[in-house]
Structure 1
Amino acid sequence: MILKEYIVLSVIIIILAMAPIIIIQDREQNKSEMERFEKYGVYEVQNVNIQNGKLIRAYQVKNELGRRHKGDLDKQTKLQLCYILWYSYNHFENVEEVEIISYYNYSGKMLPYYTYRTGRWEIEISKLGDASESEVLTYMEYYYRKLVKIGKLNVMDENIPYWMEEENGYSDSNK
């Protein structure tokens, strides 16, 4: 009799432990494209028809910047860039180019932070399109280095306040 009680109790515990996981997975699957992008600061996505297919243009707003070098992005933004490219390439049809236009919210004033543009060919060369979502998040530095070399990244350092650069490791001798 005690063995049956342990089995029943074990089954009940397993069911109760699995319920939150199933609910979370269901919510994740039912998210819209914008809800998936919003966690990466994207507030608008445009599908623009071009000669060969579609251009996906994503507009992003950054409220905080992390440590960064002049002419480069902070680590969090690098991750976001890789994810936006991966998601655009894998979840939109006939994507030939992806463009990300990012702004930095500096005390309510929107300053251009960076633009990045790349094509299908570059994403295929980087193997980003073949990666799973977890691989993109895990190997972000690997993909980012490839993408920056073959895409067109333009970081507008002049729009980042000088004190922000100082706070992020720059001194007067580096300017």
Structure 2
Amino acid sequence: MILIGIMATTVSTSSAHSEMTAKELIEGMTPAEQDALKGWYWYDWANQAYALTVMTVIVPALMANLYNTATGTQGGAGFYALIYGIAMLMVAVTAPALGVIADRMPIKKKLLFWYTLAGVIFCAAMGAAPYFGSKAYMVLAMMYVFGSIGFSGGNTIYYAFMPYLAPKKAMD
């Protein structure tokens, strides 16, 4: 199972001070708990792919290229850094409140759906940015900021699911 690849071979339980294998932990879960865990892993897999490809490789290079082409300068890397900083500032301001809402209100799944949908839509819209001519870098910047908010907001909510995904005996 996926859990075996992600967790260490053994998990120390705090209450019994004994060790259980990941397989034993999974076998002790209900089918609904196993399904929830699988959903969480698939989400994690997808968001890591986004972070690796879009945030780390594609957008920095594309934004710098579009900026440099539109302005005739070589300041594209600095422009990307500015946009990234704006996006992360917005995330830093909103994430604490979003975390409290996700932890205290029974709307985690809805919030995760909407933030993920926003991230997906704005990520897909980034593909159209090069077709906006000299304003392409601004369109990409706007889509990237909103996509980053969707991505980071989704991550904030997805972390709120963690206490519900494993039995108490599996938690450190």
TM-score range, shorter chain: under 0.3
**TM-score under structure 2 length normalisation:** 0.23
Higher relative contact order (CA 8 A, sep 6+): 2
Higher percent of residues as helix: 2
Higher percent of residues as strand: 1
Instruction: Report the structure number with the largest CA radius of gyration.
Output: 1
